[in-house]
Each structure stands twice: as structure tokens, then as C-alpha cells.
Amino acid sequence: MIESNGFYSLTCLPRDMADRLKGLSRDRSEWPADFAADYKRIHVQFSQDKAEFTSWIRKDRDSRMNRTAKAILLCILDCVNCDTERCDPGHQYIADELGISLRTVERTICRIALAKWLSITRRGRTSTNFYRVTVPVEKIAGLLDYVDGLREQRAEERERRRAFRPEESDPTKVADHSESDPTEMADHDPTEMADHDPTNLSGKHMNRTLEAEHLNKGSCSDRREVTYPRESIPVHEAHFGEWVRRNIPDPTRHREAFRLLRERKMTPEILRRLAA
């Protein structure tokens, strides 16, 4: 891991070795022994740095680094070339790799840069951006302190569970309470109701009529409404004539009454209308 100017960055091939590499054969067996050893050592360190960066990224609790942001940053991290330090994946490439929209990539990369995980160099409208994966040392220190705190907290909880002895605990004992102990109920008998008789409603009858007033008589009118019980309506046609003449004084309505009686549609309400 390279630490420079308060930032961590990946270990890549130095510029002089990169220039020397251009003149060497693709067959590594023909490389000088010292160069091949240094090249292998740097690549091993590069892989370790990528693994450490991956661990840091996954542990970041920054609100800007949601699941999508971490996936995009890890995709960019995989694109870093150890030999050339080149890292310039296009937005469309990242979107295709992760199965997300192009607009999501464009919007999220800005959030990753604000979270101080990327340094972006824009190279024009027709060229892809150049990315450099760096992170402040201070950010990583705070992140690791937070993780260590969680680890210590979990260790303490495991110790408490390990030291717990069920046979020594008394489930009947609860924590001591103050005088406002919720287990102590107020000194009263809930069965004792207020001293009143619910049946005495200010001298009113239960049906909201005067006690001296008949239930079928309205309190604001002396008019009595004539009712016709359903049982009084005849069902046999032999009784229709006498019943109609007795209950419906208007002869012009007799035909309608006979029809309703035959169809079994005569009701007390219709009879009151015809007899009116």
C-alpha cells in the first residue's frame, strides 16, 4: 500500500520499470532475473492492496456509499492496470457489467468521488474519464476504529453469554423499582362504580318520551296514524271484494287493489296510500 500526502493508493509498477517493460519480450523467461523478481513482488503487493481496498469499501458506512455505489467502485477497482496504472472504463461498460442504467452510473460516480474514494480526471466529451482509486488515511483510520469498536462490543456480548449461569438466576426477581413501581396498582376497587343510578335519566323514559305519554303517541302532535297489520290482508280471492270495499272507499282504485292482491304485492304501506 502506498501512502502519500495523506492518501492511500494502490501499488503499481514504477514509471522506470514500466518504460523498461516496453522493451522486453513477452516471454517472461527471457527477462532479467532481478527485473522478473521485482515485477512479481509488485504484482503480489498490488493484489494484496486490491483485497485490502475491497475490504475497506465494503465496511464503509458513509450514507453516499450504498450498495450500488460500492458495486460500481469495486468494478472500477477491478479495471486498474498494475503495469500502466490505467483505469478508464466507460460508463456504458460499467452499466453493462452491473446490469444497471447509464444514468445510475453517471449519478453514482459523483457520489463516490464526494465520499473521497475516487480521483476523476475528465478527458473530453468523446473520451472516457481517467480514475485513480485513492482514499484519505484519516477516513480509513476512523473506519477501522468503528469496526474495532463493533468487534469489541460483540466480544463483550459473547463473554456475557458465556458467563451466564441459568441455574443461578431467579426469574421471580425483577430489577428494583422506585416508588413509581409499575407493578404496584393504585389502591382502588375497580368494581365500585360511581354512586348513581343509570336508569334515572332526568325523569325521562328510556325511549326518550315523557313517562306519562303513550309510546305510540308523538310528543308534538295528537294525530294518530292508522296501521294495517299484514295479517289482515286476505290471500284468498273469495275475500278480495268485501275486503277492498271495506278498506278502500274510492271505487276508482279498486281495480288496482284487486291486481295487487292477486299478485301478492299488497302491503300495509300501499294499502294506506290507496285508502287515503
The answer to whether position 206 is within a domain reads no
Is 27 a member of any domain? yes
- 143, 167, 195 - which closes a domain: 143
Given 96, 115, 143, which residue is the final one in a domain? 143
Quick: pLDDT tens for 191-229: 555 555 555 555 554 454 444 444 444 444 444 445 556
What does each of the 276 residues of the chain score in pLDDT, given as a tens digit? 899 899 999 999 999 999 999 888 888 888 999 999 999 999 999 999 999 999 999 999 999 999 999 999 999 999 999 999 999 999 999 999 999 999 999 999 999 999 999 999 998 888 899 999 999 999 999 999 988 888 999 999 999 888 887 766 666 655 554 555 555 555 555 555 555 555 555 555 445 444 444 444 444 444 444 555 665 888 888 788 888 888 888 888 888 888 888 888 888 888 888 888
254 within a domain of the structure (yes/no): yes
- Domain-located, residue 175: no
Domain assignment present for 177 = no
Q: Total structural domains in the chain?
A: 2
pLDDT score of 195? 58
Whether 166 maps to a domain, the answer reads: no
- The answer to whether 129 and 122 have CB atoms below 8 angstroms apart is yes
pLDDT single digits (tens) 66-85: 999 999 999 999 999 999 99
Inside any domain, residue 179: no
* Structural domain boundaries, residue 240: 230-275
The domain boundary, picked from 96, 116, 143, lies at 143
Instruction: Kindly state whether residue 224 falls inside one of the protein's structural domains.
Output: no
